[in-house]
Amino acid sequence: MGLTGRQKAAMLLTSLDSSTATELLKGLPPQDIEEIGIELARLEGLGQRDGKEEVRVAREFLTSLAKGRNERAGLRSFLNSTLLAVVDRDKAEQIQSRIRKVSQKRDPFAAIRSARTDELVLALEGEHPQTVAVVLAELPAKKSQEILSLLSEELGLKAVCRMTNQETLGAGVRERMASMVSARLKTFEGEVVLERPERREQSLRRLAIVLSGLERELRDRLLEEIKNNDEETCRTVRNLMITWEDIPSIADRSLQEALRTVEAKTLAVALHGAEEELSRKVRSNISDRVAAALDEEASLMQEPLPKEVLEAREAVVKPLREANEADKLRFVQR
């Protein structure tokens, strides 16, 4: 189907800087501005853009949009600056209110998609896992991933498990869930509601632990979704599922099978400076012959560089990760 005039106008506005968008809207009746604003809200709610379609629409209106494409006029800037520059404040507030109502009716999750990550995390904490699952399924993959890594581990795990049965929920139930979350979000608007001191790797580590506890089929499907969005992040998450620090929590039999593939020299470097609990766990799961070779290597080697220690530990963890990928790794605790 071809685009309507309002759809073309809204798409064009997303490609222009705010001052140019304002000039184009000047002189239009408030009703037309409202309709374009509703369509703009719908486009932003989708969370994705069609570059080819934007170019086609832009060429249809103008011969070139080469200048002024760096500053985008999204929904918030449109409502907060462009709209106020075209009509008076009272009229702008009325239009904003109608846009929100129409957008919410057409797409109950529109306001949720446009909310900040920190707002969503706070709004979802304490909600039922099924509600969290429905919201995550409605968000772009990257945003869902970030929110999942910041939620409590228990809630995140339960929510991911429920993301597989979305088709059993009726439209009315989903709308009520969206309404509840949207209502909570309104209380956080315009505020910095969540401090995020965690480094990115720490957040991804939490996500990795949640995913590693899932059944293999579901875990692989979620990892594939992350990979499609960001291959490097997916690789990091896979590696963080099993780390050197996880060794004490691995079941003896699984650890024994993995350590059989590691040379005594590599193991000696990896254990240099290791915590006593971890070192004891490794030594209790190797044979007397390997333990003797390990002691000999440790007595002969020079002080290893930090880089060498990290590389050796990665070599020890590698077979553990492979076992985890094959769903053969077992834990005594996590």
Query: Which residues form the domain of 140?
Result: 108-241
96 and 113 together in one domain: no
Residue type, 266: T
Residue 276 has a CB neighbour count (10 Å cut-off) of 7
Per-residue pLDDT at 292: 95
219 and 248 together in one domain: no
How far apart CA 265 and CA 50 sit, in angstroms, is 55
> Is residue 164 helix, strand or coil?
coil
112 and 236 together in one domain: yes
Per-residue pLDDT at 21: 66
The answer to whether the CB of 98 falls within 8 A of the CB of 34 is yes
The answer to whether the CB of 134 falls within 8 A of the CB of 182 is no
237 and 250 together in one domain: no
Q: Of 216, 241, 266, which marks where a domain is finished? A: 241
Q: Nearest 5°: phi and psi at 225?
A: -65, -40
The answer to whether the CB of 239 falls within 8 A of the CB of 321 is yes
Shortest CA distance to 201 belongs to which of 246, 157, 153, 243?
Answer: 243
77 and 125 together in one domain: no
Tokens, residue 207? 């996500």
124 and 97 together in one domain: no
How far apart CA 185 and CA 177 sit, in angstroms, is 12
Count: domains in the chain: 3
Does this model's pTM top 0.75? My answer is no
34 and 89 together in one domain: yes
Give helix 5-14 / helix 18-25 axis angle, nearest 10°. 150
Per-residue pLDDT at 68: 38
116 and 181 together in one domain: yes
Show pLDDT as tens, one digit a residue, over the chain (334 residues).
466 666 666 666 666 666 666 666 666 676 777 677 777 666 665 555 566 766 666 666 544 333 333 333 444 444 454 544 545 566 656 666 665 565 556 677 877 887 888 888 888 988 898 999 899 888 887 788 788 878 887 888 788 878 766 666 777 888 888 888 888 887 766 554 444 545 567 778 878 887 877 778 888 888 888 888 788 888 888 999 999 999 999 999 999 999 999 999 999 999 999 999 999 999 999 999 999 999 999 999 999 999 999 999 999 999 999 999 888 999 886 5
188 and 252 together in one domain: no
27 and 99 together in one domain: yes
112 and 223 together in one domain: yes
